[in-house]
Structure 1
Amino acid sequence: MDDVSVKQIAVLYPVGGVGHVGPMTQLAKVFLHHGYDVTMVLIEPPIKSTDSGAGFIERVAASNPSITFHVLPPTPAPDVASSTKHPFLLILELMRQYNDKLESFLRSIPRERLHSLVIDLFCTHAIDVATRLGVPVFKFFASGAGTLAIFTQLPALLAGRLTGLKELGDKPLQFLGVPPMPASHLATSLLESPEDELCRTSMEILERNAGTHGVLVNTFESLEQRALQALRDPLCVPGQALPPVYPIGPLVGTGTGRQEGDGGPQHECLAWLDAQPERSVAFLCWGSKGALPKEQLKETAVGLERCGQRFLWVVRTPAGRDGPGRYWEQRAEADLDALLPEGFVERTKDRGLVVTSWAPQVDVLNHPATGVFVTHCGWNSTLEAIAAGVPMLCWPLAGAEQRMNKVFITEDMGVGMEMEGYMTGLIKAEEIEGKLRLALESEEGTRLKKRALQLKKETEEAMEDGGSSEAAFLRFLSDVANVRG
């Protein structure tokens, strides 16, 4: 593929939002590394935001000039503000309405140059487009193999039930390839009655993995070996041949100390970290969107003040409600005086730093001063911590797979401890104080650090030339060639 004029084009199609476009951008870089052109197809966000999150896609495009970004012509967006439908269903309906425009765009690419279409979980309807055109279509699963194993087995579990899983509470469910999973830890949409539109639609999406030529998974072989073996096992879903699974991760950013594409000086927190002792700082951050309720912010502040440990804390304005805008928007910058106990910032200034809205997470995790990561357990954040060799204190928020990831982190990977109060809706200052001391001062904390450094080494081995993740991607390329004939 040395001749630029005959380079094949991989088309990547994520739904909007940091948690989807970010990992898909990292996947694009793998294609580029192997000599392919990449076009990422996006839609206009249905909700316009005037704050710091509004220019995310523009920043990603500016900082990745080797990737072509194509925005499909806009289609009328659903009225998310007044609709009684769940936002997830509205987003899926919107993506379905873009199928004709996606098809027109794919037809504009010479067939011999169109290598493959890679879609994310929320773009499942695009399988129909690829099938009509005869284009190899693959799913990119931005979460881990454990979650994929559960999702793959769930439709069969629900098929025999008249009621939802919510009534089971914390009863452990048995799935191939993963530890026993409390029913309460599944994604909220999957706990409803099988007749509920949200649950039924979610099941249809999960079952349609089988309609693709394979699934690229953001994980690596040694991290989730048991789950990957289950996905290759004919007994995973009896009577159904599952598509191949390619563990090609971890696909994580390298970090620049700045927001994507922004110039200017490094973030202030990195200079602050430079002045702290090695492995001494607790980094508290709940993902690109996560925000704690006001009561929890105050309880967290009390715990941080009492524990005496160094900390770097990202504080965001609490959510007014869990509205549909969460797919694209970030909230306004937090007012610390209104959210935290009076005098907290001043009293802890010698050992703590509070930043509002955003911190360069990859850079912070890779900084020698960072000793533990208090995290919501989103998969991107989990992989970034693993790649950096930082143990985790698991504090899931209400979200798709965060509680499941907590189980994988603490039980399968052995690289974290859970903050036990999260299921009650309030983690008390006493637990925050105790767990931070445990992670940063105790023998148990030392054991977690050793395990985290071992996983960091395995991450590096998976991603190097000849490593398991590169081998999986080459296997994927070979399979695409066979499909194309």
Structure 2
Amino acid sequence: MEERIVLYAAPSIGHIVSMVEVAKRLSLRRHNITILLTTGFLDHPSTDAYIHRISTDHPSISFHRFPHSDPPPPGTLSLTARALHFIRNNVPNVTSALTLISKTSTIKAFVIDIFCTSAMDAASSMGIPVYYFFTSGAAMIALYIYFPLIHEQTEKSLKDLKVELRVPGMTAGVRAWEMPEPLLDREDPCYEEMVYFCRQLPRSSGIMVNTFRELEVNAVKAIEEGLCFPDQKERPPVYYIGPLIADPSDQQHQSGGESKDCLSWLEKQPSKSVVYLCFGSRGSFSVEQLREIAQALERSAQRFLWVVKSPPLHPGTNQLLADQDNFDPISVLPTGFTHRTQDRGMVVASWAPQVEVLSRQSVGAFVTHCGWNSVLEAVVAGVPMIAWPLYAEQHVNRNVMVEDMKVALAVDQTQEHGGLVSAQEVERVVRMVMESDGKGKDLRDSISKMKDMALAALSETGSSSASLANLVQSWTQ
């Protein structure tokens, strides 16, 4: 029978894209790949077209979509609790898929996202080695491996602690209330499940991480020295195989007229003159915050390309699970803003081809929510960042970007009550990053070196290529 690697992506387009990039790297080494996908929760409108394009362009990669399953209603459950409940309900579908694939193929490895840990036993019971693919960086995997120790050291919820936590591999401490959301509240049903997931990480056959050794030197060192492992007897091999970022050609199905217009507009701007603002596939702001950003951009006199999503449906959140149809950014921005800034700025609704945008010579800074995919895309493009985390692990990413990687400056999110960042603060940090000397120059120098290291890591003799080769070799033994 043929040999096959089976991958299982967590819901949401960002996790799917990262898993597909792993599949593409493995397919280059003559592996046949099947990617398992859920249906019914956090589905993205572009997913069907995206997987069709991947299947067409990469015949060795196939997709197995599970039947539609309804997630728990919003009610009182957190987003993560709903997601984990949904993924857990899909375990029978995982078992059925693995059984079906095993009839015609020898499954050499089952690669899962950390949020898909509930499927681990299904594969292990069939004698299939289970590996993790971690879509964030080395610092975050160190934190998750270390978290059971933090859990045992306190009986209170982290959201209620006004302390800094020290995590091996991170220069700066992490404020307890800025830890990843699933770890904040012991009363949340997802909390115990996340602790269990963290305990399972060291018990896997190996962990792949979407980073490269040279980007996160401190975290990689802490992991290799075992500083974050609660039990030194449980230390699986860790493979740093990134940076894995989306191929622009795979996003062509999303490129409407407005997207092409923004690329044409960027081509006409001077080198390193444009501030690009985008907050991921789900990042969203209140109307009040959007107007503060608009005021800052108008005052700054900088050129800008700004992707504006519709405000969140529920107050107090910065996440949008689905874009509003026919959303018009002008409806939420200050009256006359687009007219007054038309000679130096462009506003795009909901989405832009980010990898292509960041590759344009005119882009001089990137205001980002610190999602890991976006961080890697900026590193590969050599664009310095302004860190504005919103949810998930993004506050931890910010600390690493600023203190360890030295590729970003952070927006001060404590200036205003209620989490509102003032126009003055946004203007201050934008000017600082775009300035020709001082902090701006330091960031550009640092990110330029990281760009060169990223390209070297992916070269034939680079660290990430060697790491992936070692992983593939282990499957042939």
TM-score range, shorter chain: over 0.9
Give the distance between the partners of 2:231 and 2:201, measured in 1 at CA: 15
Give the partner amino acid of 2:148.
P
Identify the range of structure 1 (374-383 vs 203-212) with the bigger mean alpha-carbon deviation.
203-212
Q: Which residue of 2 aligns with 1:92?
A: 84
Q: Which residue of 1 aligns with 2:196?
A: 204
- Say yes or no: does 1:62 pair with 2:57: no
Give the distance between the partners of 2:255 and 2:309, measured in 1 at CA: 21
Q: Which residue of 1 aligns with 2:94?
A: 102
Give the distance between the partners of 1:322 and 1:384, measured in 2 at CA: 30
Distance 1:238 1:59, change over 3 A: closer
Q: Which residue of 1 aligns with 2:451?
A: 456
Q: Which residue of 1 aligns with 2:309?
A: 316
Q: CA deviation at 1:46?
A: 3.5
Identify the range of structure 1 (347-356 vs 87-96) with the bigger mean alpha-carbon deviation.
87-96
Counting only pairs closer than 5 Å after superposition, residues 188-199 of structure 1 correspond to structure 2 as 188-193=181-186, 196-199=188-191
Distance 1:427 1:366, change over 3 A: same
Give the distance between the partners of 1:423 and 1:124, measured in 2 at CA: 39
Give the partner amino acid of 1:414.
K
Q: CA deviation at 1:134?
A: 0.5
Q: Which residue of 2 aligns with 1:431?
A: 425
Give the distance between the partners of 2:396 and 2:47, measured in 1 at CA: 28
Is contact 2:259-2:353 (8 Å) kept?
Answer: no
Q: CA deviation at 1:74?
A: 3.5
- Say yes or no: does 1:71 pair with 2:65: yes
**SS of aligned partner of 1:68:** strand
**SS of aligned partner of 2:456:** helix
Give the distance between the partners of 1:316 and 1:163, measured in 2 at CA: 36
- Say yes or no: does 1:36 pair with 2:28: no
Q: CA deviation at 1:305?
A: 0.5
**Which one of 345, 353, 369 corresponds to residue 376 of structure 1?**
369
Q: Which residue of 2 aligns with 1:119?
A: 112
Distance 1:322 1:113, change over 3 A: farther
Q: CA deviation at 1:63?
A: 4.0
Counting only pairs closer than 5 Å after superposition, residues 239-318 of structure 1 correspond to structure 2 as 239-240=231-232, 241-256=234-249, 259-260=252-253, 267-318=260-311
- Which 5+ residue runs of structure 2 have no aligned equivalent? none
Q: Which residue of 1 aligns with 2:340?
A: 347
Is contact 2:13-2:47 (8 Å) kept?
Answer: yes
**SS of aligned partner of 1:390:** coil
Give the distance between the partners of 1:334 and 1:265, measured in 2 at CA: 13
Is contact 2:4-2:108 (8 Å) kept?
Answer: yes
Q: CA deviation at 1:430?
A: 1.2
Distance 1:299 1:323, change over 3 A: closer
- Say yes or no: does 1:416 pair with 2:408: yes
- Which 5+ residue runs of structure 1 have no aligned equivalent? 1-5
Query: How big is each residue's C-alpha offset from its partner over 1:132-185, in whole Å with a ceiling of 9 and x where there is no partner?
Result: 11011101100000011111111112113221222332x321121112222232
Give the distance between the partners of 1:354 and 1:257, measured in 2 at CA: 23
Give the distance between the partners of 1:115 and 1:322, measured in 2 at CA: 46
Q: Which residue of 2 aligns with 1:468?
A: 463
Give the distance between the partners of 1:349 and 1:132, measured in 2 at CA: 61
Q: CA deviation at 1:60?
A: 3.2
Give the partner amino acid of 1:160.
Q
- Say yes or no: does 1:8 pair with 2:22: no
Aligned residues: 468
**SS of aligned partner of 1:393:** strand
Give the distance between the partners of 1:464 and 1:163, measured in 2 at CA: 47
Distance 1:17 1:267, change over 3 A: same
Identify the range of structure 1 (307-316 vs 329-338) with the bigger mean alpha-carbon deviation.
329-338
Give the distance between the partners of 2:203 and 2:319, measured in 1 at CA: 29
Is contact 2:203-2:235 (8 Å) kept?
Answer: no
Counting only pairs closer than 5 Å after superposition, residues 39-50 of structure 1 correspond to structure 2 as 39-46=34-41
Give the distance between the partners of 2:251 and 2:424, measured in 1 at CA: 34
Give the partner amino acid of 1:252.
I
Is contact 1:317-1:333 (8 Å) kept?
Answer: no
Give the distance between the partners of 2:259 and 2:328, measured in 1 at CA: 22
Distance 1:212 1:61, change over 3 A: farther
Distance 1:137 1:463, change over 3 A: same
Distance 1:56 1:184, change over 3 A: same
TM-score normalised by L of structure 1: 0.91
- Say yes or no: does 1:25 pair with 2:17: no
Q: CA deviation at 1:227?
A: 0.8
Percent identical pairs in the alignment equals 36
Is contact 2:202-2:236 (8 Å) kept?
Answer: yes
**Which one of 326, 329, 332 corresponds to residue 322 of structure 2?**
329
Give the distance between the partners of 1:92 and 1:355, measured in 2 at CA: 33
Q: CA deviation at 1:106?
A: 1.3
Is contact 1:257-1:266 (8 Å) kept?
Answer: no
Q: CA deviation at 1:255?
A: 1.6
Is contact 2:22-2:244 (8 Å) kept?
Answer: yes
Distance 1:318 1:196, change over 3 A: closer
Distance 1:431 1:87, change over 3 A: closer
Counting only pairs closer than 5 Å after superposition, residues 221-236 of structure 1 correspond to structure 2 as 221-236=213-228
**SS of aligned partner of 2:468:** helix
Q: Which residue of 1 aligns with 2:180?
A: 187
Give the distance between the partners of 2:31 and 2:132, measured in 1 at CA: 18
Give the partner amino acid of 1:174.
R
Give the partner amino acid of 1:217.
V
Is contact 2:284-2:320 (8 Å) kept?
Answer: no
Give the distance between the partners of 2:303 and 2:268, measured in 1 at CA: 11
Q: CA deviation at 1:337?
A: 2.8
Give the distance between the partners of 1:386 and 1:64, measured in 2 at CA: 28
**SS of aligned partner of 1:138:** strand
Give the distance between the partners of 1:114 and 1:107, measured in 2 at CA: 10
Q: CA deviation at 1:442?
A: 3.8
